[in-house]
Amino acid sequence: MVRKLGLIGAMNRLARLCVAVPAACVAFVAVAQAQQVGSATGLRVPRYVSLKFDRVNLREGPSMDHRTLWIFQRVGLPVEITAEFEIWRRIRDSEGSEGWVRHSILSGRRTALVSPWKKGGTFDLRAEASDGARVTARLQSGVIANVKTCDGRWCRVFGDDYDGFIAQQNLWGVYPDEKLP
């Protein structure tokens, strides 16, 4: 009971501070969000990963007893981990479907979908990270690309018969301004 009241008291003090000094509240929230880590791994949450297998059951809850909501059938599909519970990860796909999978079917390999929100579109892959660089290929919306590096504006991606740079804003599977080595 004392602990609960202590938390309520702290929340009340924080609320009063946010009213008195809104900038302090914004800074506090930004720091709290930046420091969110998974309870099972200690890794940042949310984060992107990919599917290891071509058949993955997305479950309603974190156990085999929960019903299957969806079956993913694309190896390498990027998904976003939004929560952790023991050996289970709650994931979200590019269309917003969410559910739980076992951690062992996920890979740390970074992949991205080329503009899944622009069905039927094609997107230039360039020889260098520049709008003026030579176009080396055109990738269709929905293509899964392996992500090699990102500088916050451009990502170097590759697949079986392509390798080049694409504007980071055209990818789902990397965060805006995210930098990858």
Looking at the fold, whether 119 and 105 belong to one and the same domain comes out as: no
Q: Is residue 159 part of a domain?
A: yes
Structural domain total, the chain: 3
Question: 11-37 pLDDT, tens per residue?
Answer: 444 444 444 555 444 444 444 445 599
Does 63 share its domain with 80?
yes
Q: Average pLDDT of 44-60? A: 98
The CATH number for 82's domain is 2.30.30.40
Q: Are residues 130 and 158 in the same domain?
A: yes
The owner of tokens 């590759």 is 158
Domain co-membership, 92 together with 53: yes
Residue-range definition of the domain harbouring residue 154: 113-180
Nearest-CA neighbor of 173 among 144, 152, 153, 151? 144
Residue 118: left if φ>0, alpha if ψ -120 to 50, beta else—which one?
beta
The model's pTM is: 0.79
Considering the domain boundaries, does residue 72 fall inside one? yes
Is there a domain that residue 40 lies in? no
Could you say which of 109, 135, 158 is where a domain stops?
Answer: 109
Q: Which tens digits make up the pLDDT trace of 59-83?
A: 999 999 999 999 999 999 999 999 9
